[in-house]
Structure 1
Amino acid sequence: MAGIDVAAADGSSAVDVPDHAITLVLRSDQRELIVMGPRTRAGYHVGAPGRSCVRVRMRPGRAQALLGRPLRDLADRALPFRELPGLDGDQFATDPIAALEEALADRPEPPERLEEAARLLVGATVATTAARLHISERRLHTLFTDGTGLSPKHFARIDRVRTVLAADAGRWSDIAATAGYYDQSHMTAEFRRFMGVPPAAFTAGRRPAATACTG
């Protein structure tokens, strides 16, 4: 797993930032397990007070092993799963880590190259990453679309935006360089594409209007 948390709606505005991970979500009010594909655009919404859910972000490739199929069609989709083979929903609600460890115990390990490629893409181009792994760019593309639901280029772009979102206060030019952008204008344009507003506006709270969450 790449992370786990419990989210609770309180009626205030919330932001779902772009995410290249597959996320398993268990809604506490309905005991419904949902598989969230990679999110390629930010979402701004207001959730009904009282709702809560357990969210588990999966490492690259692990969701493919859990679902037993490629993930190339899951980007920006949320699919309800009443049952996942070998995954105990009640156990997931009380101990997600143990439930997933048990469910994945007899599943094949994801290709090591996928996680290595995900690390390399943070600071390298797709072509350079493929060369370092001694595979073709086409093979790298297939590895990513099957294992993450995104192309390697899209995966890297989301990672850069998330780096900007996680950055401490500082000069935008320095943050752009740290995140791997060519320059500040490149960062601003890409951030706007994913988040709907430039980074300075987002940080100042000038964000797109939130809509009611009906899911």
Structure 2
Amino acid sequence: MPNAVAVRVLTVPEVLRPWLSGVRTLSLSDAERTEEPFVRLPAAVTKVVLRVTAGGRRDVLAVGPRVRASYHEGKTRLQCVELRLAPGTTRPLLGVAAAELAGRAVPLEELPGAMPRRLAAALRGLDPHDPLPRLAGTLPGPLSDAADPARTALLRAGVDALSVRPDRTPARVGEAARELAVSERQLRKLFTEGVGVSPKHYTRIDRVRTIVTRAGDAPWSQLAAVTGYFDQSHMTSDFRALMGVPPRSYFTGRLPSLTPCQARG
């Protein structure tokens, strides 16, 4: 299987949940170096990443949504702390709409305003093995002080409606707009600003990531149904478009050509 990097998913403290939807650490030491590739999955989320290089250099990057997977050589020593920003928090924290960061990794200090610089300075001192104790004091106060609460709540309700859940299939974009009493155009604007991709592309990314997570738990046809696809061929087509190879190739290690990992781009 791809990704031999050691990953720890941490529980987000209550005080940080208005701002963060997830925190995880990634590491690959010299002793753990492997020929296995490192796969960056498509991701409909903006992240702030502390990246510690082999030489000890610390970079704090804003990493925008990624609409396609990329495959990299798994030999580079690294340590990272990834903070997944909750929908609607990119502009209050980073000073730009999420769509402006799509497909990019930018040093935090290069973003406009004082907040990204203050955040970069604070995050650079995190312990990559145990980042939570210092995180609580690095983010601003209540989200309502920096963002429109009603607009943020509407966006997050849209994200929830379009996401795969264990107890239901995700809504179609038109269905979600009707449930939220907004037009599809308004919903697209909300997602572009606060998530960085359109509602339609968000659903594609979320479904493909679910396939990656749940593969092997059920037959392909059943997995296609519970993730909201019309049929297995529809699922395979989406998976190939976003992952570069069909599901069977991915899970048997027949991957696209590998490229060196880049800190930014």
Structure 1 and Structure 2 fold alike (TM over 0.5):
yes
Aligned-residue offset at 1:69? 2.8
Matches of 2:34 and 2:121, distance apart in 1: 27
| 1:147 pairs with 2:185 | no
**Cα RMSD over matched residues?**
2.0
Alignment of 1:34-183 (within 5 A): 34-82=61-109, 84-87=116-119, 89-91=121-123, 93-94=126-127, 95=131, 98-99=134-135, 102-105=138-141, 106-108=145-147, 109=149, 111-122=152-163, 123-169=170-216, 170-183=218-231
Partner of 1:15: 39
Residue by residue over 1:135-154, the C-alpha shift from the partner in whole angstroms, topping out at 9 and shown as x without a partner, is 11111111000001111111
Matches of 1:172 and 1:26, distance apart in 2: 37
Matches of 2:185 and 2:134, distance apart in 1: 36
Matches of 1:43 and 1:128, distance apart in 2: 32
Matches of 1:69 and 1:213, distance apart in 2: 25
Is the contact between residue 49 and residue 81 of structure 2 (CA under 8 Å) also seen in structure 1?
yes
| 1:213 pairs with 2:232 | no
Counterpart of 1:104 in 2: which secondary structure? coil
Count of residues paired in the alignment: 215
Matches of 1:97 and 1:107, distance apart in 2: 23
Is the contact between residue 86 and residue 103 of structure 1 (CA under 8 Å) also seen in structure 2?
no
Counterpart of 1:205 in 2: which secondary structure? coil
Is the contact between residue 87 and residue 152 of structure 2 (CA under 8 Å) also seen in structure 1?
no
Matches of 1:178 and 1:38, distance apart in 2: 24
Is the contact between residue 122 and residue 138 of structure 2 (CA under 8 Å) also seen in structure 1?
no
Residue by residue over 1:147-196, the C-alpha shift from the partner in whole angstroms, topping out at 9 and shown as x without a partner, is 01111111111011011111141210011011110000000000000001
Is the contact between residue 25 and residue 54 of structure 1 (CA under 8 Å) also seen in structure 2?
yes
Aligned-residue offset at 1:131? 0.6
Aligned-residue offset at 1:132? 0.5
Change (3 A) 1:149 1:101: farther
Bigger Cα displacement from structure 2, 45-54 vs 174-183: 45-54
Please point out which of 221, 237, 248 is paired with 1:200: 248
Normalising by the residue count of structure 1, what TM-score does the alignment of the two structures yield? 0.91
Q: Any runs of at least 4 consecutive aligned residues in structure 1 with deviations exceeding 4 A, and if so which?
A: none
Residue by residue over 1:10-62, the C-alpha shift from the partner in whole angstroms, topping out at 9 and shown as x without a partner, is 35411001010111111123221101100100010015532221111112112
Aligned-residue offset at 1:81? 1.4
Is the contact between residue 6 and residue 52 of structure 1 (CA under 8 Å) also seen in structure 2?
yes
Question: Partner letter of residue 49 of structure 1?
Answer: T
Structure 2: runs of 5 or more not aligned? 1-19, 110-114, 164-169
Counterpart of 1:212 in 2: which secondary structure? coil
Matches of 1:112 and 1:214, distance apart in 2: 35
* Percent of matched pairs sharing the same residue: 37
